Amino acid sequence: MTDRADILVFDVNETLLDLTTLDPLFERLFGGGRARALWFSQMILYSNAATLAGAYAAFPDLAKGALRMMGETEGVAISDADTEELLHLITHMPACADAVPALTRLRAAGVRMVTLTNSPPAESPTPMERAGIAEFFEAHYSVADVRRFKPAPECYQLVCDHLQVAPARLCLVAAHLWDTLGMQALGGEGAFITRPGNALFPSGAVAKPTYIAPDLGVFADAWLSR
């Protein structure tokens, strides 16, 4: 048994599944710009606020709520059809272009891989199955089981408990620094994928990720060359 990280835990939304495919909806409603990024950041903000307050609502409810809140602040009427279109798009996102090549190489090298998402469990076909990448992972975990959102420690401990390993065995791979922060605070490693719009946070309170890479391919290079 090793205490070195040897199991990769992948975030799903934006890390593996392409969030930019939601852009046309936000361009239609809000005229483009960074509307989708603002919506996502508000959804994450309120998921964390709910966790800190001891409340819980499923991620799709938060997604719809953040869209309606943006509509209110921007003076844009949001219809039920708009929120249903959002949920449809979220559950039908394709894989990011770098996902399959990197996952293929990691699997060929025998790397153990699982996912951990803020999204609730879904019936088959799941978003990951639709995107054609579910098969790369030995298991898929959702924070719905602990009714808290990442980066709460209970979310990462959930994976440890199911795999029966210490946090030090896990490396969280995500396009969000707040996610790698959560795993590292528990004693694991973090791999930050700096997709467009994401950057390091220069503060001593935020741990520097163990790995920093512009895409999953570069990260796979670093992981396999250890």
| Domains of the chain and any CATH numbers | 7-17+94-224 (3.40.50.1000), 19-90 (1.10.150.240)
Burial class (CB in 10 A: 0-12, 13-18, 19+), 134: middle
pLDDT score, position 3 = 63
Beta strands in the chain (DSSP E): 7-10, 112-117, 139-142, 170-174, 189-193, 211-213
| pLDDT < 70 positions in the chain | 1-3
pLDDT score, position 2 = 55
Q: Give how far Cα 184 sits from Cα of 83, 117, 211, Å.
A: 35, 17, 12
Closest CA to 126 of 93, 172, 104, 173: 93
Q: In what order do the strands lie in the sheet with 7-10?
A: 139-142, 112-117, 7-10, 170-174, 189-193, 211-213
Whole-model pTM? 0.96
Q: Which amino acid is at 118?
A: N
pLDDT score, position 1 = 45
Query: What pLDDT, in 10s, does the model give residues 91-139?
Result: 999 999 999 999 999 999 999 999 999 999 999 999 999 999 999 999 9
Angle at 173 between CA 97 and CA 130, to 5 degrees: 45
User: Cβ(8)–Cβ(111) under 8 Å?
Assistant: yes
3-state DSSP assignment of residue 92: coil
Burial class (CB in 10 A: 0-12, 13-18, 19+), 72: exposed
